[in-house]
Amino acid sequence: MSRHSLVILPGDGIGPEVMAEVRKVIGWVEKNAGLSFQIEEDLVGGAAIDKHGVPLAPETLAKCKKSDAVLLGAVGGPKWDNVAYNIRPESGLLALRKELDLFANLRPAIVFDALIDASTLKADVIRGLDILIVRELTGGVYFGTPRGIEDLGNGERRGVNTQVYTSSEIRRVGRVAFDLARQRQARLCSMEKANVMESGKLWREEITALHKTDYSDVALTHMYADNGAMQLLRNPRQFDVIVTDNLFGDILSDEAAMLTGSLGMLPSASLGAADPKTGKRLALYEPVHGSAPDIAGQGKANPLAAILSFSMALRYSFSRSDLADKIDKAVQTVLKEGIRTGDIMAPGATPVSTSQMGDHLIRQIEKTRAEAA
């Protein structure tokens, strides 16, 4: 029986509701699959501001640093709109990414057949879509300095942020993307604005050099990020893996998410560097969706993105792709059976609450097990 430490940070809004469903899946895995978890639950975001006055308490951060994986729900909400900028809920999430050095953010966008009509795009354009965006997560304009708002003294103010990348920052995320492409269709598209930004020019040069020395078996293309945004809508299936910087990745991954019809379906993994001795990486798993304060506490949220994020944890942190496959497959079957939360509701489908969705999923996982036995 292998035992792993897990920190669960439900966060704000719908975070606690969806994480409660993840707990059911964890419970099933513990009971049936020979894994056991030492779980610590803690606060992040607005919930942490209310208790500690900061969105990420030092003790919470320390726990996360020691863990095998962190599972996060969502952060933020109107309640904290007026807190000081440097302690807003989002800054807790950003600090967690930065402090754990989780530089590679994996955001898969997969179109499930059963949800094909949920997309605003024509079914023919998106059927079978399966792309992976690898977003650099700890550099670029999100963290570059100088930054701030300065008073110019003449009635004018100036807001400054800095887009900055070093070659090693580009290369390490590039490696993750190339490695993942190798496990898929071996096609990687790198996106930047090399036509306007020096950081983009460097990005393109470094990715090109890495390709030449270490990854010439992968088919590499480059695209300006604006063209990439357009191509994602025009013909998304031309892509396999996309690698891009922090800000472009933020934007392009929201766009890719909506190709699939619902943000409520998309998981993500944020990974640090592999330990040279053990091969282990610090890791954070979270749904791409936000805290959805408008539906929080009503049992309306879709827990599948959070559950699929746990499935990514099984794949990338706990070497249990077999279990991840099982969960992913159960999600597809439940959708095929027409079990739906509001965000993916379709005519004739069965509307269910957040916790009913979790129960249906567990039942389905049980069933595939019984069939396999």
Q: Report the catalytic residues.
A: 142, 193, 226, 250, 254
Amino acid at 33: A
**SS3 label, residue 60:** helix
Min. distance of Cβ 12 from ligand IPM in angstroms? 11
Decide whether 94 or 273 has the Cβ nearer to ligand IPM: 94
Which one, 250 or 325, has the nearer CB to ligand IPM? Answer: 250
Nearer to Mg ion, 181 or 288 (CB): 288
CB of 142 to Mg ion, least distance (A): 11
Quick one: DSSP state of residue 344?
G
Residue 163 CA to residue 94 CA, distance in Å, equals 16
CB contact at 8 A, 68 and 5: yes
Burial of 84 (0-12, 13-18, 19+ CB in 10 A): exposed
Spatial contact of 99 and 61, defined as CB atoms under 8 Å apart: yes
Work out whether strand 187-192 and strand 241-244 pair parallel, antiparallel, or are unpaired.
parallel
The residues of the shown chain that bind Mg ion, judged by CB under 5 A, are 250
Q: Which is nearer to Mg ion, 232 or 330 (CB)?
A: 232
Instruction: Name the phi and psi angles at 191, rounded to 5.
Output: -120, 135
Which chain residues interact with ligand IPM by CB under 6 A? 90, 93-94, 250
Between residues 107 and 326, which has the closer beta carbon with respect to ligand IPM? Answer: 107
Say if residues 90 and 76 touch (Cβ distance below 8 Å).
yes
Residue 93 interacts, among ligand IPM, Mg ion, none and using kind-specific CB cut-offs from 5 to 8 Å, with: ligand IPM
Q: How far is the CB of 282 from ligand IPM (least distance, A)?
A: 17
Strand 267-271 with 104-110, pairing:
antiparallel
- E-strand ranges in 225-335 read 241-244, 267-271, 283-287
Q: How far is the CB of 250 from Mg ion (least distance, A)?
A: 4
CB of 89 to ligand IPM, least distance (A): 8
Closest distance of CB 288 from Mg ion, Å: 7
Task: Indicate the residue whose CB is closest to ligand IPM.
Answer: 90
Tell me the residue length of the chain. Answer: 373
Give the nearer residue to ligand IPM in terms of CB position, either 180 or 256.
Answer: 256
Query: 104 or 324: whose CB is closer to Mg ion?
Result: 104
Which partner, ligand IPM, Mg ion, none, binds residue 273 by CB below 5 to 8 Å per kind? Answer: none
Helix pair 225-234, 246-259: axis angle to 10 deg: 10
Tell me, what amino acid is at 36? S
For the bound state, the minimum distance from the C-beta of residue 263 to ligand IPM, rounded and expressed in Å, comes to 10
By three-state DSSP, how is residue 119 classified? coil
From the list 146, 173, 167, 169, the residue with the least C-alpha distance to 158 is 146
The SS3 assignment for 68 reads: coil
For tokens 């894994």, the residue is 35
- Using alpha carbons, list the distances in angstroms from residue 330 to 236, 289, 325: 25, 21, 8
Strand partners, 220: 188
